[in-house]
Each structure stands twice: as structure tokens, then as C-alpha cells.
Structure 1
Amino acid sequence: MMIVGEYNQLKVSKKVEFGYYLEDDFGDEVLLPNSATKGHEIKVGDRLEVFIYRDSKDRLISTLKKPLLTVGKIGYLEVVTQNNIGAFVNIGLERDLFIPLREQSFNIKEGKKYLFGMYVDKTDRLAGTTRIDSYMEIAEEGTYKSSDEISAIVYDTCENGTLNVMVDGKYRGLILANEHFEYIHPGEEIQARVKIIYEDGTLGITTRKKRLDEREILTDKILKYLKENGGFMPFNDKSSSEDIKKEFNTSKNYFKMTLGGLMKQKIITQDKEGTRIL
């Protein structure tokens, strides 16, 4: 039995002008077009590993090309077109993968890359989805430890500011709202680090630097601001959290700590109007 959306081991049964016919152990046949055999020498009787999908006329077809993902897997794929029924993304084959509107949990844009999972729909056609929680793996104990540097791709955002991410191409992670200061869109790749590993194996991720690094970066930002604005800024440790986050991309707590350090070094002074460089 041939399985759509996966690799199948099939026997070459005959050669025709436009390609080869392959058959499974039950005698069912599928076409392998000449266009899908480039770089391969094929003889009748060979057993080939081919990917099975449906062509533009909804016929089963096989290829020796390697798609960018298979059923049950996740791919980081570019959107080719988006219309009023859904989107099509490039999977490296002659036919693009269809993403129905109902399977889009956020607005996707042409030319952008996002994470998609592949499944077989009720009509035995391949389709894709942005809802990929069930496609990801849970990190086993010992896979990561706190402060490990990781790569992540955002695949969904929550109303409370939490970001859902895929870590290192396979594991589920999340970034709480207070662990990132900039809005990160679905599809964006980021460098971050592990902060906590939850009991269910989900990775708690942060884009914040380690405390010392973050203080050093913020110190540089404050001094640069002061030098570029005549030695004065209208911010001090009484400024609102919203204003501080908007201007310096940090929390009020870190801002106050950094100002305190600069005052101890006698680099700045504060008054009710703001902060001045000495």
C-alpha cells in the first residue's frame, strides 16, 4: 500500500516514454516522471525509495527529489502565494503545499518563512498547518541545562505576550512576556538561552542576557543616549516602566540598578527633571 506524503520503497515495473511505472507489493502502480529522475540511472527491476504525493490534476505521482518535509514533520518554509482560500508554500517539489485558511493561526505573508507541519486531509491530499504543537518533541531530561545557548523560531504568539517557539528544530519552548522586550513576529529566528525546564519537558526560554551582560549593555545604551543629547535625558529611576521599556528595551528594575551603579561611579547625577552626565 502506497502512503501519501511519505517515502515508499517501490519496484520499477516498466519504462515508458514519459518515465517509469513503479509498483508496490500489491501490484498497485504509480508514475515516476522523467523530470523527477534527473541524476539517477534506473533499470526495470530496481527498488527505489520515492516520495508519493498528488500532482496538479490530483493524480498520485512519485519523485526521487527530497521534499523539505514529510507528513508529521515540521518545515521552515517560504510562502509563495496567499489568497482568499489559503496559502501555498514551497516544499521543493513541482507542486507547492496548500495551507487552508482554517489552519493559519496568524496572518502569513508572501515571501516570508514560517514553521508548518504537514498532514493528509480527508480527501487524501497533502496540506499544511501553522498549528504545530503536536508535531514537536519534548526535551528529555539532560538534553539541556539552564543557561544553554539555543536557536529558536517563533511559531505563535499569545494575547498575554507569551511566545511559543520551536527550539533547535524539534523541541517545544516558550518565552514569557517578561523574558523578551521587543515584539517578535511568528517566523522570526532568534538566539536565546534556556532559563528553566518545566516538569513536562517544555523549555522556558529567555532572550534576556545574563545579568552582568545585560547591565553592561544597558550602561552603554544610557551613556550613548546622554552623549547624543547634550549630556541629559528626561528619564530617571522615577520614570514609568512603559517609558523605560519603550526607550531602552529593559525593565524598570534593571534600569534603576544600572543608574545606581553609574551614580556610585560618579558618572551621572539625577534630579526630578531626569539624568545628567557629570
Structure 2
Amino acid sequence: MKIRSLISIAIVLFSVTSFPGCKELATVRISNLTCEFLTSPQGIDETGSRLSWQLRSDIRGQKQTAYRLLVASSPEMLAKDQGDYWDSGIIESDQSRLVEYKGKTLQSREECFWKVMVWDREGIPSAWSEPAFWSMGLLEKEDWTARWIGSPDSVTAPYYRHSFYLDDMPERATVYLASLGYFELYINGEKLGNEVLAPAVSNYSRRSYYQTYDATTYLKKGKNSIGVWMGTGWYTPGLPALHRYLLSSWTIQPLWLILEPTLPVC
């Protein structure tokens, strides 16, 4: 009886593993998808954004021999395995770091949803990775339609606040914010982002970096309020030696900011 049972089990296992309908998948798994070293970043201003992923396997010496990237304009399109922005096709390469996007020319504010699959050392394809995301920032000067605002007095920590109404909830709302000095952005009393001392330090006589925020979940139907709290930081008249080498000669001016939303706040 034991011999018959063992033979039966062996036959069943052979039938399952050799059945033509069973598709073998690679033993590698894909994780940690990033764009420009960031996880699902917003406001990327590189049209040739660089994509990366990591491989995991329980088999020693396993490796990637090819990959295929899909970049789509929506999660629904990506779920259908359609890359209307870019379908790289099968690329024979072991590169999994900083693969440059080479699809449709991307425009300001466009959203990109992407995923990747790879082939292992035996040439067996993996499953698709989990989807990832990045959005484009404001690529042209003309994209900034807002105006710089500031206090007429040299206030060291001004607070700006504005109220506006929404008749309907937007599908997506994004805020782009640049300043001369540090800032914190609030919508309806909640702080957006987890950055401290934003934006990064720059030579204020030449440039000011901007931050991008997804404000969708912070909004509500009806009355909303948006506020910005500012501080001098490195944009300060107290360090004359640094002004000569790092900052501008006009940093004694009041703090300024420019805020560009994708929804009407007037």
C-alpha cells in the first residue's frame, strides 16, 4: 500500500509540473522601485528620468539578464499592461539602476505610472513588479503663472493665510511652492510634507528650489484655508561673510514666496 501511495503521489506531482498550461516564473522578485533615487516622487524636472529597482532571490548566484519597462498615463492603462508613454520592449541587459526613460516627451505636471519585469539567468520571466509612480514638475518658466509675494516689512517669521471655496472636490490637487527663506505649508490646519528646513539651501541671487505637494486629501468641499509660515534660515542678513560666497547681496530684503496651485484658490 505504501509503495502504491508513493507511486500515485509521484505521478500527480509529475503531472502538475509538466502540464503545458503551467507557466514557470523566474525565481527573482522585484522590489524598491525608485525614480531619481526617490520612492514615488513628485515634481521631477528631468525629462529623461532614471528608474531603478532591486532584485531578490532565494537562489545563490541568480541574476537579471533582461528587463521590460512599462510607463503609462494612468493606473488603469498600466493594469492592462499597456505603456502609452513608454514600452521599452525586452532589453537584454543586467542594468537595474538608473535606467533612463526614453519614451514620449513628458510635459509639465504629467503623471507617470510604471512597472518592470525581468528575466533571470535561465531566461525565465518574473512577474510584474508592484506599480510605482512619479510626476513631472514645472519645466518651463511660463508654467509659473503666480506672482511673488512678501511682507513690506522685514518680519523674521511672517505667516500668510488665504481662504477659498471649492464647489466640487478635485480629482487631484498639487501645490508647487518656492521661497526665499524656509517655509512650512498648511492646508486646513494640517502641515503638508515631512520636510524640515525646506527648501534646500541655494545661492539666492541665482535660484530658489521649489517643493511639490499632493494636496488632494487635505481639501474639503466648501471653505478651505491655505497658509505658509516662513523663517529666514540661511536667507539672513546676520552672516556677512557667507553672503560673499554663498548668498546674495540683497538677502536683507523681506522674505518672499511664490505658490503655484493646480486648482483655483481665488
User: TM-score, structure 2 length as denominator?
Assistant: 0.25
Q: Specify which structure has the higher proportion of helix.
A: 1
Higher relative contact order (CA 8 A, sep 6+): 2
Q: Specify which structure has the higher proportion of strand.
A: 1
User: TM-score, structure 1 length as denominator?
Assistant: 0.24
